[in-house]
Structure 1
Amino acid sequence: MNKTFRGKHALIIGAGQNIGRRIAQEWARRGARVAVADIGKDAAEETAETLRTMGAESIALHCDVLDEDSVLATIDGAESAFGPLDIHMNNAGILSGGNPEDIPLGAWQQMFDVNLFGMVRANNVIVPRMIERGGGHIVNTASFAGLYPFAASRVHYAASKAAVLSMSENLALYLMQFGIKVSCLCPGPVMTSSTQGMKHFSEDYVMRAPGSHLFVKTQQETATVLSDGMEQGRIVIPTHDELWATLEEVAKDPDGFIKKKHEEFLAGDPGKPGITQDVIDSINE
């Protein structure tokens, strides 16, 4: 029996589109009641409606992760609708790019305020409640960009995601004593629309990617990998198993790995992953 999701109450902040929406659908398929929150209330409602058409219980909530009161109201709203949360996911985030010398301090501050402190605001509410109840599962979304060096074209984003990973791992270590699980989803290249409309602080810069040895995954593959990993009790959950070999390489020779990435870039390889037509077609499914 699926004990992770069946009959459980879940909230996903950042589920109005893309990976968050697919995760909400996957959790609903596995038997969870899912509250869907997003900065765009209409987008959240669209996701919630897809869940209801599947026969699942779902509500839509507006959430601004920059606003403590909004985050609190979102969590309270989800618990008022379904009862105490068994699963809470922090998936809201932003992305921008450019050469480091062109990224202003304000962009750094905004990146951390959304990608890291947006999670902190929510966790500061949900962690004490889960400790009091003696159980629960917290999920945070990081990125390959926070796990090893390649994202020289978005250093501020990579730094924020590295912070999310560290926070998640140490939170998992602390919360084990209370029977609370923590998982950190680490997406590699995934087909989404998140790069559309992203802000660019440099002209004609090259968007460096995690590696040409990788292939782009679909959003559904990402949702399945995360959900399976949660059922297995995993903490760090990457979308691509190739990550582990890369991390071994980095651990053996960090300086050499960075130099290799530099040499690959000079040779015309920015690390762009491969992509199949099936993956391209999946964005419109």
Structure 2
Amino acid sequence: MTMDEVVVGRPEARLRPFVDHYLGYRETAPLPLVRHQAAGAFVVLILGWGAPLDVVDPRAAAHGAVGVTSFVAGPYDGWCTTTTQGVGAGVELILTPLAARRLVGLPLGELTNRAVALDRFPDPWLARLGDRLAAETRWSRRFALLDAAVATRLAATAPVDPRLGRAWRRLAGTAGGIGVAELADELGWSRRHLAVRFRQEIGVAPKTAGRLLRFQRAYATVSRDLVSPPTPGGAVPPGECGGWAEVAARCGYYDQSHLIRDFRQFTGTTPAALAGSHSSNPA
């Protein structure tokens, strides 16, 4: 596989609470390329063109998408795979649930552990946007089109219930460190009501969201350590520098085994195996 282009775009300042960045890419895969995609309490929006993708959840293949170029996926509470072959290009947006709820126009409970092609949505605005991006030849122009389209969509949609917004920000701000009972008390809701509303609008229960947010922090920590600048004598994987127990403690896990269980569920592998795959295949 050859990554021909990777271009990062920053949205306008007013849009950054909703979209942190745009990732433009163009890649060539002469042979079938299979990637494991980690779970997360976020939504992935791909606006693509060229070679199509298959997105498969091994637990429920029927909830995947086959032969798609543009799609919305997640949130996922387990890993999935993507497979492609040929020359593909597009823009990837990683969205918080509250931003995705407004941009996609559906309660995220309808997208949990699912990948849905954009041409299957009743509102065709995202599919049309993908076509417009494909017709452009400059990434700067594509990112400007995204800014305009996202701003227009946000102006036309109402914010999600502010109490859900507050609950999400508390969970995200503590990387899942706040308990569900404490969160419900802060909102003045029962735990059951919080769970029902969260599943409907955010896509997963608050306890699951907390686990995913803690895992995302650990995954980002491990990945950052793996790609950090080499030190004299060579970089040392986290498993050999203080041990995985130290990584677990830093990221809010009870112990090393707890960290490893979450990695197995959310990535399909262990942190040590992930470190090994990075060190043996730095590309």
What TM-score, normalized to structure 2? 0.28
Point out the structure with the larger strand share. 2
What TM-score, normalized to structure 1? 0.27
